[in-house]
């Protein structure tokens, strides 16, 4: 039986989520009252209030229909009316910071939580509009989602703050009625100041990026040079010395999952020289984070993926052993894997070699954790997903970001080809300078000329290696260009279902290889 608004207004606890026919019927009732469209999945009853997200002329607003005896903190324009025989108060307010805070207080499922060792996926969103599409794909998977995720570097390029990223995800979660929990990743943090601003915004997952402390020169350094590098390490911060480190990790095999690893003195010299300062910086960041969180639960990821040299097995053991010794607790780690993980395109390298290496890294994660292996720059690595799923099972975290921006461009290409053509032409001009902070290999000379392509062929630029990377890494320049920013948002707001459907289809391709056998049977 479909619940009515009067029945929901008398409900004290959180009302169970309803199926589509019921939510559509309730949306119809609310629309007759509010005279604006209502997102059916957003309708939520709790505390004798009915909360919902509405939209009028592409402007979203939060609404509350409350019994006269209830209380809430949503602010906006109010009016009294009768719902059945009950007197109620309707409040329609903006999707503001204050109303986001109030809504989280009323509906705790909108507050991000730690996800633990559940198989997980990070869904970065550079525009703040992709979360509904992400959720629609997540609902068909068995991945635990991180729905607020953006790096400090991306925040600077998109003009957003960590709190805005959090709130944009919240409104998407509310719109889709997602109640199964989600995480919030403060991504690629490099400084104490980064930690402070993200902890104040309420993040639950913190990715420490100590990449600038990696000594890539250690890979090819001579034994004498390695000794000098190790002698210069900040041993006070590492709370140890070279002799003690040797005693801990050399002279006896280390039992890993299914095999034993002997670390030679030279192996350890190289690992310490390369990653010693990484360990010291990560410990410093972790201890500061633990202090500012003041008992609030959080999770840590450490990432050294965006570096020039591959993380060897002895180096992974060194990192994990020393972090563990120094009291760091982490849930996932992103080494620099074999092969190449470039932005927005598939894996470049030998998959058999990747599988052998990935399995051995997983053995380290099980021995010193367990913790998840994280696939950074994980967008569109379709050849890698079956391997990672088969080898790691649940001990995997997939991190995506720019691919959602590319799907926004795909939506724009289909509904506003004039705008897309201008963006593509501008991206080709900007790429030579914008590529400097990325590991990419696209060449402008290999990109098809967007001016000469007919409208129905423009989307092919998003399916070709060179043009796809070029469009990917130039997002900051595009979003900061006055000719593009507002037209992009206007186009997507006016065609949001087109965007959501493209995201859902694209992320189905990302998540389906990770589905467990049980999840696959459930989907049938």
Position of tokens 């409104």? 171
Q: Supply φ then ψ for residue 227, to 5 degrees.
A: -60, -45
Beta-carbon contacts of residue 522 (< 8 Å; ≥ 6 apart): none
Q: Does a cis peptide bond (omega within 30 degrees of 0) precede residue 49?
A: no
* Rounded distance between C-alpha atoms, residue 118 and residue 369, angstroms: 14
Between 242-249 and 313-325, two packed helices, what is the crossing angle to 10 degrees?
A: 110
Secondary element (H or E) of residue 121: strand 120-123
Rg (Cα) of the chain, in Å, rounded? 25
Position of tokens 């992009």? 488
Task: With beta carbons less than 8 A apart as the criterion, state whether 406 and 471 touch.
Answer: yes
DSSP state of 143: P
DSSP track, 420-436: HHHHHHHHHHHHHHHGG
Beta-carbon contacts of residue 505 (< 8 Å; ≥ 6 apart): none
DSSP state of 340: B
Which is it for the CA torsion 152, 157, 158, 161, positive or negative? positive
**Residue closest to 475 by CA, chosen among 397, 420, 423:** 423
Q: Is 346 considered catalytic here?
A: no
- Structural tokens at position 123: 């869904």
- Structural tokens at position 56: 């009028």
Q: What are the start-end ranges of the H helices in 240-264?
A: 242-249
- Structural tokens at position 439: 């590991």
The 3-state DSSP class for residue 53 equals: strand
Find the catalytic residue in 29, 187, 305, 466.
187
* Rounded distance between C-alpha atoms, residue 7 and residue 9, angstroms: 5
Find the catalytic residue in 301, 322, 466, 504.
301
Q: Is 301 considered catalytic here?
A: yes
What helix, strand, coil percent values describe the chain, rounded to 5? 50, 15, 35
Q: Which positions are catalytic?
A: 187, 301
């Amino acid at each position: 039986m479909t619940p009515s608004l009067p029945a929901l207004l008398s409900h004290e606890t959180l009302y169970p989520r309803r199926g589509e026919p019921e939510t559509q019927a309730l949306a119809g009732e609310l629309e007759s009252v509010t005279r604006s469209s209502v997102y059916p999945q957003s309708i939520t009853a709790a505390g004798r209030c009915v909360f919902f997200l509405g939209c009028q002329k592409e402007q979203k607003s939060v609404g509350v229909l409350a019994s006269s005896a209830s209380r809430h903190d949503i602010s906006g324009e109010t009016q009294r009316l009768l719902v059945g025989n009950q007197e109620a108060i309707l409040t329609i307010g903006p999707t503001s910071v204050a109303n986001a805070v109030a809504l989280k207080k009323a509906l705790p499922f909108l507050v991000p939580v730690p996800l633990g060792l559940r198989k997980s996926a990070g869904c970065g969103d550079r525009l703040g509009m992709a979360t509904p599409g992400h959720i629609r794909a997540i609902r068909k998977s068995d991945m635990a989602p991180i729905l607020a995720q953006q790096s400090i570097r991306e925040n600077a390029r998109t003009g957003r703050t960590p709190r805005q990223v959090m709130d944009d995800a919240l409104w998407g979660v509310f719109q889709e009625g997602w109640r199964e929990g989600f995480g919030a990743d403060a991504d690629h943090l490099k400084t104490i100041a980064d930690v402070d601003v993200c902890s104040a915004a309420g993040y639950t997952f913190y990715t420490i990026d100590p990449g600038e402390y990696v000594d890539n020169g250690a890979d090819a350094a001579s034994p004498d040079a390695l000794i000098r590098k190790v002698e210069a390490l900040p041993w006070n911060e590492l709370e140890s010395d070279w002799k003690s480190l040797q005693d801990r990790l050399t002279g006896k095999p280390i039992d890993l999952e299914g095999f034993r690893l002997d670390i030679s003195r030279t192996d350890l010299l190289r690992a310490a020289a390369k990653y010693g300062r990484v360990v010291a910086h990560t410990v410093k960041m972790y201890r500061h984070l633990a202090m500012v969180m003041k008992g609030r639960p959080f999770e840590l990821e450490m990432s050294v993926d965006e570096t020039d040299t591959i993380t060897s097995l002895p180096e992974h053991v060194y990192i994990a052993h020393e972090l563990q010794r120094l009291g760091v607790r982490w849930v996932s780690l992103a080494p620099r894997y074999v092969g190449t993980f470039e932005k927005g395109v598939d894996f470049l390298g030998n998959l058999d070699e990747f599988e052998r290496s990935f399995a051995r890294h997983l053995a380290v994660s099980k021995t010193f954790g367990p913790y998840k292996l994280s696939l950074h720059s994980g967008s569109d690595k379709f050849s890698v997903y079956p391997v990672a799923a088969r080898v790691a099972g649940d001990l995997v975290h997939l991190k995506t970001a720019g691919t959602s921006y590319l799907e926004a461009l795909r939506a724009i290409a289909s509904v506003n080809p004039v705008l897309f053509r201008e963006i593509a032409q501008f991206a080709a001009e900007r790429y030579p300078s914008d590529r400097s902070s990325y590991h990419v290999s696209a060449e402008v000379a290999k990109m098809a000329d967007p001016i000469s392509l007919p409208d129905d062929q423009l989307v092919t630029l998003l399916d070709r290696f060179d043009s796809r990377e070029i469009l990917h890494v130039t997002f900051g320049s595009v979003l900061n260009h006055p000719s593009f920013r507002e037209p992009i948002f206007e186009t997507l707001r006016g065609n949001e279902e087109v965007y959501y459907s493209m995201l859902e289809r694209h992320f189905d391709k990302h998540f389906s290889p990770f589905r467990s056998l049980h999840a696959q049977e459930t989907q049938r």
